[in-house]
Amino acid sequence: MIPGFGIDPWWMVVAKAVAIFVFLILTPLIAILAERKVMARMQMRIGPNRVGPGGMLQSLADGVKLALKEGIVPKGVDKPIYLLAPVIAAVPAFMAFAVIPFGPEVSILGHRTPLQLTDFPVGVLYILAVTSVGVYGIVLAGWASGSTYPLLGGLRSTAQVISYEIAMGLSFTAVFLYAGTMSTSGIVAAQSNTWYIFLLFPSFLIYLTSMVGETNRAPFDLPEAEGELVGGFHTEYSSLNFAMFMLAEYVNMVTVSALATTLFLGGWHAPFPISLWDGANSGWWPVLWFTLKVWAFLFVFIWLRATLPRLRYDQFMNLGWKVLIPISLVWIVLVATVRAFRIEGYGSFAVALVVVSAVAAALVALFFWRRSRRRPETDTPTAGTELGRSAPFDPFAGGFPVPPMPDQTLSTPEKERSDA
C-alpha cells in the first residue's frame, strides 16, 4: 500500500468522491461557455450574450433545453445497448479521476489526508485501462443505432483509439522510466525540482497530440465528421442521451488535461517564480496551481478547434502510425539509456535529455515560425498556361481521387479514364 492512502475514514472518502464529481460537472459547464466565447473572439464574432449577465448562464440553459427535449428512440435499434452506450461512454471518464492528485497532505476536520481519492503502484495504467473502456460506448452507440453513418463513426473511433492509445502509452513509458514509478503521486513527487516537460519534451508533444486524438476533438474529430457522417456515432441520439455523450467528451478533456498536468507539469507544484515562496506548495494553494494548469490545456483544445481544419482520415492514421509511434520508440531507447547510466551513478547524462528536449522545442518553434511567414499563393497564371485557361489537372496525383475545382480541366488520360 502506498503511504497515506487506504487509511481515511469512510466519510472522508465520500467527501473526496463528491468533491471530484462536483469538479467534473462544473468544469464542463464553464468550459462549454468559455469555448463558445473564446472561439467567437478568435473568429471575430459576438458569441453567447443573451442568457444571464454577458451570456454566463448559456451552458445552464443548454442543459435545461436538452433535458426537456423529447427522447426519440428510432425504430430498429437494439434498445438495451442503445440506452446503455451513453452510460458506458460517460462513467469511465469520471472513474479515471480517482487517482489524480489535486494537492499535498492537508488537515480536514483534524484528519491529515492527501488531496487525492486513492493511488496504487500502477495508477497511470489504471487511467489508461479505464479511459479505453469509454470507446466501447461510442462503438456500441454506432452499432446499436441500426444506421450506416453512426456505424461508420463508431468504427472510425475504434481505429482512432487503437492507433493513438499506442502512441499515448509509449509517451507514458518515458515518464515511468525516468521517474521510476507508475504511481501518480510518486510521479508528482519526482518533479519537485524539475518538471518533466523540460526533460521529456518529445514525450510531452506526443502525448499532447495523442490526447487530442483520444478525445475526438478538432482537428481529429473524425468520428463526428459532419461532412460525410452527418453527426457520426451519435446521429440517432437526442435529449439526455445525447447530453451524456457531450458530457463524456468534456469530462474526458478535463481528465487528459489533468493527466498531462500530473505527468509533465509537476502536478500541483507551483510554477516558477511562485515556487520561491515557502508556502506555495503547502496547504490549499496547490489546488489553485493544479486547476490553472488544467485550464491552460483546456484553452489549447479550444484554440485548436477555432484555428485548424479537420484532417483527412488517411493523414490522421499516417500521423499516428508512421510519425508518433516510431519517434516514441526511438525516444524511449534514449531515455532508457540515460536511466541506466543514472542507476550506475552517471547522473550527468541526464543533460542529454535536456539537450534533446531543447532541440525538439526549437524545431517545433522553427516549424511554426516558417508556417507563419509563408506567403499565400497568388492567382497569377503559371508557365505554359494561357490567360483564362488553367493547366491540366490530375485528380490522382496525390494517390486519392480529388474532384477538380471550377477553373481546372482534367488531363487527357484522366479524362478518358473518367469517361470510361
DSSP class of 55 = G
What is the three-class DSSP state of 267? coil
Q: Look-up: residue for cell 463524456?
A: 248
Give the pLDDT of residue 276: 85
**Predicted confidence (pLDDT) at residue 194 exceeds the cutoff of 70:** yes
72 in the Ramachandran plot: left (φ > 0), alpha (ψ -120 to 50) or beta? beta
Find the helix packing angle between 10-42 and 58-68, rounded to 10°: 110
Give the pLDDT of residue 283: 86
Give the pLDDT of residue 379: 46
Asked whether 124 and 188 are in contact (CB, 8 A), the reply is: no
- 294 is written with which cell numbers? 488544467
Give the pLDDT of residue 383: 45
DSSP class of 372 = H
Strands 111-115 and 392-393, sheet pairing? unpaired
What is the three-class DSSP state of 105? strand
Model pTM above 0.75: yes
Asked whether 211 and 260 are in contact (CB, 8 A), the reply is: yes
Give the pLDDT of residue 145: 87
pLDDT tens-place string over residues 95-117: 989 999 998 888 888 888 889 99
Task: List all residues 6 or more positions away from 46 whose beta carbon is below 8 Å from its beta carbon.
Answer: 40
pLDDT tens-place string over residues 337-382: 888 877 777 666 667 777 777 887 788 778 777 776 765 554 444 4
Q: Look-up: residue for cell 507539469?
A: 265
What is the three-class DSSP state of 369? helix
Q: How far apart are CA 351 and CA 330, in angstroms?
A: 17
